[in-house]
Structure 1
Amino acid sequence: MPFKAAVGFFAALAITALLSAGAARAAPVRLVGFGDSLMAGYQLPANDAFPVRLEAALREKGHDVEIANAGVSGDTTSGGLARLDWSIPDGTQGVILELGANDALRGIPPAETEKNLDAMLARLKERGIAVLLVGMLAPPNMGPDYAERFNGIYARLAGKHGAALYPFFLDGVVTKAELQLEDGMHPNAEGVAVMVRAMLPAVEAFLASLEDTP
């Protein structure tokens, strides 16, 4: 190959590589909100679901991020474990994992809930997907013994797997009727907005940790 042609060829290769690298950097961070009706947006317009509102709040703060809504109303941790792989596509960089509320409402033994969440965290780690684990609290009617066994699950598993933790998904909403639907359990649109504002710093820290991951 003549010298000038060779120079042109390698220059073209270099430009292509730079353009490809720029495109890779420009791709949004892909997250999945994986959970139950609290994540899915029970009885709310699709645009008021937590993942949608969270994505909008993050974009307003300059984060290039896409959050898929993989919430299923009524889901338990056993149901989540069963659908984990096909609900979270390859290329996902982080999962906001929110499950366990329906386990507590149904009185499922906390040991079973912990086992299922443990398996999900292990599987996501195996796939190289970071997790922000979202905690729940047992309802008061389950009694103090159940609450003691259930409420410690999330911090324990976050420590075991090195996952980020947001202690309580319904913080700021659970005791306020004006932020809930008539069922007294699910947030209304205003309640979702409160949840997003409360959780935003934790999600931003989670995004920063993804940027630091090689």
Structure 2
Amino acid sequence: MITLLLVSWVLLLASQSVQSSSSTLLVLGDSLSAAYGIPQENGWVTLLDQKLTQQTMQQLKNVQVINASLSGETTSGGLQRLPGLLAQHQPTFVIIELGANDALRGQNLNQTQRNLAQMIELSQQQGAKVKLLGIRLPPNYGPAFDRRLAQMYLQLAEEYQVPLDPFFLADVALNQELMLEDGLHPNAAAQPIILARLWPQLQAWLTE
């Protein structure tokens, strides 16, 4: 009887240890991370989730991915939703992929930058590590506005000391065969390529 109790206690402690070593990755993005126009299971965030579960390193294998991305999301919308998401999921890691819709709608990028700054601060105040995914604009928006957008992400990354991919669609955006007909959203074939670009960055970030 005593032996049985001891075994049960050891198993309980082991279970609690595994649970305590798990972590949550929250992805807060727009249609570029929400698998717009393609099956959800083909999106790069879902592919990331699958890749993490296949890892032998427990630190990666135990990462649970929560995709809170919404098509059409702006930085204002993301900022409104973030406190609730932080309270609900208590993430260890937060990827912020927002700003494209602000820019496409011609919104004031100073406000966009302030919104992103608040999201970074809220996440860090909760003890989460933050990574930014930047985006660039189609050529018809003009080089000056595109440079301002790129500068915005760089300034945020430097100010808050967070890692940044300045253009996470860089490997697919200029290839029409990897984009939907609208020329703005990557298709299903592009998703593994996006993840292949991000994976070395994320692997280092999640284990540092």
- Pairwise CA distance, 1:160: 1.1
CA gap 1:17/1:61 in 2 versus in 1, 3 angstroms: closer
Q: Which amino acid aligns with 1:54?
A: L
Contact 1:107–1:142 (8 Å) recurs in 2:
no
- Pairwise CA distance, 1:16: 7.5
Cα distance per residue 1:97-149 (max 9 Å; x no partner): 10011111111122111111011101111111111111111332222221222
- 1-side partners of 2:181 and 2:136: how far apart? 20
SS for the counterpart of 1:96 is strand
Contact 1:105–1:139 (8 Å) recurs in 2:
no
- 2-side partners of 1:170 and 1:107: how far apart? 20
* Paired residue total: 200
Any stretches of 5+ residues in structure 2 without a counterpart? none
- Which residue does 1:44 correspond to in 2? 38
- Which residue does 1:66 correspond to in 2? 64
Contact 1:33–1:96 (8 Å) recurs in 2:
yes
- Which residue does 1:5 correspond to in 2? none
- Pairwise CA distance, 1:198: 0.8
Say whether residues 1:108 and 2:102 are aligned partners. no
CA RMSD of aligned residues (A): 2.3
- 2-side partners of 1:73 and 1:90: how far apart? 21
Q: Which amino acid aligns with 1:76?
A: T
- 2-side partners of 1:132 and 1:147: how far apart? 21
Larger radius of gyration: 1
- Pairwise CA distance, 1:25: 5.0
- Which residue does 2:51 correspond to in 1? 57
- 1-side partners of 2:106 and 2:14: how far apart? 55
Cα distance per residue 1:53-83 (max 9 Å; x no partner): 1111233333312211111100111111111
- Which residue does 1:129 correspond to in 2? 128
Q: TM-score, normalised by structure 2?
A: 0.87
SS for the counterpart of 1:185 is coil
- 2-side partners of 1:137 and 1:204: how far apart? 24
- Which residue does 1:30 correspond to in 2? 24
Once the two structures are overlaid, the 10-residue window that deviates more, 81-90 or 111-120, is: 81-90
Any stretches of 5+ residues in structure 1 without a counterpart? 1-7, 210-214
Q: TM-score, normalised by structure 1?
A: 0.84
- 2-side partners of 1:33 and 1:132: how far apart? 10
> Taking every aligned residue pair, what percent have the same amino acid on both sides?
37
Q: Relative CO higher for 1 or 2, CA cutoff 8 Å, sep ≥ 6?
A: 2
Once the two structures are overlaid, the 10-residue window that deviates more, 192-201 or 15-24, is: 15-24
State how 1:135-214 maps to structure 2 within 5 Å: 135-209=134-208
- 2-side partners of 1:91 and 1:115: how far apart? 23
- 1-side partners of 2:114 and 2:21: how far apart? 38
Contact 1:37–1:73 (8 Å) recurs in 2:
yes
- 1-side partners of 2:85 and 2:70: how far apart? 10
